[in-house]
Amino acid sequence: MHGFVLAGGLSTRMGQDKARLELGGRPLIAIAVDRLRALGLEARICGTRTDLAEFAPVIADRFERCGPLGGIDAALEVSDTELNLFVPVDLPEIPLVFLRWMMERAERTGAVATIPMVVGRAQPLCAVYSRRVGRGLRRALSTGQYKVMRALEDAAALVGERVDLFSMETVAAALPSGTWPPEPRMHEWFRNANTPADFAWLQRRGAEASGAEGRHPIS
């Protein structure tokens, strides 16, 4: 399995380049890349940001200005592994133990996509994708369909397979206690750093955890 960081956004709501925003003294892009490497994956960055190549190889979008779907398409096109893990650059709270669990689930089920759902909302940018959906995603992009879940459902139907869209709450209730960390809470794992207020929340959480544990929780 390969790992890809989705970092092709324009950061318009943040007002500055969020990939290089520092949390605990480290850029968000470095945190995301290191997380994938900690899982034993070869990490690459999706997007048009050639300046991020100092952190990992950059895979350029083939369809420009198409949002994260363009990055997923480009990654699947160059990948030589059947399954591929994707994480957004702005989700530094995702625990390694959860990502490892999701990778194992994808390998067991063989689904064309393994996508968590928390508080009733799908999280398709933090997911595992099979290369088998690549043709369908390219078809969606060529017709102007840029919504990830809609394109993915159509791509899965094209190959006659299913998407494994699982409820985080249901799974957590069935797992042995302590399998996933209780803090931060699951819905906070998926709290994107889209705005200055979002990033300020991440900084506060990091400072609180550092004070309680003597280290930054993401390092």
pTM tops 0.95:
no
Q: Residue 83 and residue 72: Cα distance in Å, rounded?
A: 12
Q: Is 206 part of any domain? A: no
The tokens for 12 are 């318009």
pLDDT reported for residue 163: 94
46 near 7, Cβ under 8 Å? yes
Q: Is 22 part of any domain? A: yes
Q: Is 46 part of any domain? A: yes
pLDDT reported for residue 217: 44
Q: What CATH number does residue 77 fall under?
A: 3.90.550.10
pLDDT reported for residue 214: 42
Q: Residue 167 and residue 184: Cα distance in Å, rounded?
A: 18
48 near 61, Cβ under 8 Å? yes
The answer for residues whose C-beta is within 8 angstroms of residue 164's C-beta and 6 or more apart is 105, 106, 109, 111, 113, 114, 115
93 near 185, Cβ under 8 Å? no
pLDDT reported for residue 49: 82
Structural domains counted in the chain = 1
Residues in the chain, total: 219
The domain of 176 spans 2-196
Q: Is 211 part of any domain? A: no
pLDDT reported for residue 50: 86
Q: Is 219 part of any domain? A: no
Q: Is 90 part of any domain? A: yes
Residue 55: what residue type? F
Q: Is 87 part of any domain? A: yes
Q: What tens-digit pLDDT sequence spans the chain (219 residues)? A: 999 999 976 555 565 688 998 888 899 999 999 999 999 999 999 988 888 999 999 998 888 778 899 999 999 999 999 999 999 999 988 999 999 999 999 999 999 999 999 999 999 999 999 999 999 999 999 998 899 999 999 999 999 998 999 999 999 999 999 899 988 888 889 988 878 887 787 888 766 665 544 444 443
Q: Is 64 part of any domain? A: yes
pLDDT reported for residue 24: 86
